[in-house]
Amino acid sequence: MPNHFHMILNVNANGQSGTPVPTKAGKSNSFVSSFVSTLKRFCNKEYGKNIWQSRFYDHVIRNREDYEEHTKYIYENPIQWYYDELYTEE
């Protein structure tokens, strides 16, 4: 979809991107929070305004089933562009 993107970030035990780290429910991963915050600030500065959706949220994928559900959603999401309120035929 041309009006937004989805991203899956893998983080290992050293806070580096790579193999995912299992986390306990309710416990945040400081690397992920820091990464998302930095990315948002960088993009907002680059575009000169806040570009993030108000209902934006991040989600920690906790198992294979959750991962497959989210990758399927991301893969199939462009099909929904036709129904989006911002859709144009151009």
Going from N- to C-terminal start, the domains of the chain cover: 1-21+28-90
Percent of the chain with pLDDT over 70: 70
CB neighbours (10 Å) of residue 81? 13
Residues 6+ apart with CB under 8 A from 4: 53
Distances from the Cα of 83 to the Cα of 45, 61, 80, angstroms: 30, 27, 5
The pTM of the full predicted model, rounded to 2 decimals, is 0.57
pLDDT (tens digit per residue) in 54-87: 776 777 888 899 999 999 988 888 887 777 777 7
